[in-house]
Structure 1
């Protein structure tokens, strides 16, 4: 059993953007670390009756980032929870998507405005939703990873 050091919430700057982006990046790093290095068989196995698995959670969050921030279209949300790709590929794709999303977010100084070239939602709403979605699934990932190999901590 691996006990990782529990990382406290980030100390961010004082602006709304710094707080939102700081917490989002903290959660993104947490779930990527939780999936990174997980044994393949366990990471793809459904540990609960809903079929949720560790790799599927991160694949889903990749699609959420791509849809919400990058403006890509997702036509089948339930399918975003499934992938046959190996753990390192899913983690790398998530981190690459986060990097692209952050580049776009860096170009959005007005939280009340929608993303460039779009009519909605506001960047503030998108950041808040990403924090909620990523935090929710990071909690699921904590439990799944502990069931797989006993790894705990952020």
Structure 2
């Protein structure tokens, strides 16, 4: 029988712009990690749509986005980031994602000014505000994809 979770309501955040942006980003980060957590093998890496998108591929991509935006990693082939290594278990991909999020949050904890550039070494950087809004958009879009893929796998719905 499909798992029906109740939707988690949007976060209640503090009143500052930074608290709102970071609260929504963390909410979406948790949402997509929850979609991958507990998804059965091999379905978690099996394409559920003609584009070839998989749950592990989405999380691998978002790990690359977090690392690129906040940790300075350079990505030369964004399409390649949508493919999880074949030997990785879902738990490995989840751990990498959660580690990237934790490290990105450590960087964000040092950013008091939303207009300042993201402190990433070796290359130009957007403002912290732009980076947060972009990650909210990117994570939200892929969390929606993950919702559909997870429901196709085992009927699980909700956040």
TM-score (structure 2 length as normaliser): 0.94
Partners of 1:97 and 1:120 in 2: CA distance: 18
Q: Does 1:131 align with 2:136?
A: yes
Name stretches of at least 5 consecutive residues in structure 1 with no aligned partner: none
Q: Does 1:103 align with 2:130?
A: no
Measured against aligned partners, the alpha-carbon deviations of 1:61-97 in whole angstroms (never above 9, x if no partner) come to 0000000111110111000000122101001110011
Partners of 1:18 and 1:119 in 2: CA distance: 25
In the other structure, the counterpart of 1:112 is 115
Once the 2 structures are TM-superposed, how far is the Cα of residue 119 of structure 1 from its aligned partner? 3.5
Over the aligned positions, Cα root-mean-square deviation in angstroms equals 0.9
3-state secondary structure, aligned to 1:93: helix
Partners of 1:48 and 1:115 in 2: CA distance: 35
Name stretches of at least 5 consecutive residues in structure 2 with no aligned partner: none
In the other structure, the counterpart of 1:151 is 156
Partners of 1:2 and 1:66 in 2: CA distance: 32
Once the 2 structures are TM-superposed, how far is the Cα of residue 40 of structure 1 from its aligned partner? 1.4
Instruction: Find the partner of 1:87 among 90, 115, 118.
Output: 90
Partners of 1:119 and 1:144 in 2: CA distance: 35
In the other structure, the counterpart of 1:25 is 26
Q: Is the 8 A contact 2:118 2:131 kept in 1?
A: no
Partners of 1:104 and 1:2 in 2: CA distance: 36
Q: Is the 8 A contact 2:61 2:82 kept in 1?
A: yes
| Matched residue count | 154
